[in-house]
Amino acid sequence: DGGITQSPKYLFRKEGQNVTLSCEQNLNHDAMYWYRQDPGQGLRLIYYSQIVNDFQKGDIAEGYSVSREKKESFPLTVTSAQKNPTAFYLCASSENTYEQYFGPGTRLTVT
Amino acid sequence: EDQVTQSPEALRLQEGESSSLNCSYTVSGLRGLFWYRQDPGKGPEFLFTLYSAGEEKEKERLKATLTKKESFLHITAPKPEDSATYLCAVQGAAGNKLTFGGGTRVLVKP
C-alpha cells in the first residue's frame, strides 16, 4: 500500500527537550510538508521541501528544524526554542503542485 | 497574503437534511482550491480539487462548486458517517504552499 506514515502517534516530552517526529512516504512524491494544527484552528505550514537536500520555511518555522536527505523521508525536530510545542503535527506530500496527501499525524504533548 | 474563511464554524444536521458549507477566499492567482475531510485525531483526507470558476465536482453525497470568490461544499441527504470537519485550502501563484481555513465541523444526527 502506498501512503504516508508518521511515528509515533503520541509523544510526550519534558519542557526543554528536543524531539524529532518521523515522516516517511512511498508515493514517490517530490514535495513534502509539515503542518501544525491547534484545537479549533486550521493547519499552519511549518516547513516544506520540493526536492532532496532543499527546504523552505513556512509561516511558523521558528523553533523547528528539518532535513531532507532522502526523497522518502522528511523528519521534523521540535527544539526547546519552540515556545508552545504542544499540538497535532501533520506531514503531507504531493506530486509537484498538485493535491497534498496527509499522514495520520503525531500528537505531541510537552509538559 | 492569501486568506481563507470558512462558515459556519459548526453545523448540526438531521440525517437527510441537505446543507451547504462556504469557503470564501482571497488569493493572488488561484492555482487550485482543495477540499478535505478530517475525522477526529486523524489526518485530512483529500476530497476535491477545483481549478477555475464554474467548475463542479461530485463524490457520493458531496458536491463542490467554485466561483471567483468562494467555494461551496453541498452535502445532499447526509448520513451520520458524513460527520467530520471539512477543510478548505487554496494554492496561489506563489508556489506549493496551501493556505487553510479554520474548517467547518459537521455533525449529522440519526
Closest in B31, B46, B100 to A97, CB measured:
B31
Distance CA(B71)–CA(B23), nearest Å, equals: 5
| Interface residue of A11, A27, A43, A100 to substitute, partner B, most B CBs within 10 Å | A43
The Cα of A102 is separated from the nearest Cα of chain B by a number of Å equal to: 6
Residues A45-81 have pLDDT tens digits of 999 999 999 999 999 999 999 999 999 999 999 999 9
Cell of B84: 467530520
Instruction: List chain B pLDDT tens, one digit each, 110 residues.
Output: 899 999 999 999 999 999 999 999 999 899 999 999 999 999 999 999 999 999 999 999 999 999 999 999 999 999 999 999 999 999 998 777 899 999 999 999 99
Distance between CA A43 and CA B21 in Å, rounded? 18
The torsion angle over the Cα atoms of residues B23, B94, B38 and A92, rounded to 10 degrees, is: 170
Question: Residue A39 has what pLDDT?
Answer: 86
Provide the 3-class DSSP secondary structure of residue B60: coil
The whole-number pLDDT of residue A1 equals 60
B28, with CB counted inside 10 A (0-12, 13-18, 19+), is exposed
At residue A42, the pLDDT reads: 86
List % helix, strand, coil for chain A (3-state, nearest 5).
Answer: 0, 55, 45
The pLDDT score that the predictor gives to residue B42 is: 95
What's the pLDDT score for residue B97?
85
Please tell me the distance from the alpha carbon of residue B87 to that of residue B68, in angstroms, as a whole number.
18
Interface size A-B, in CB pairs within 8 Å, comes to 57
Distance CA A108, CA A86 (A): 5
Residues in A closer than 8 angstroms to B46, CB to CB, are 99-102
Residue-wise pLDDT tens digits, A9-42? 999 999 999 999 999 999 999 999 999 999 878 8
User: Where on the phi/psi map is residue A16: left (φ > 0), alpha (ψ -120 to 50), or beta?
Assistant: left
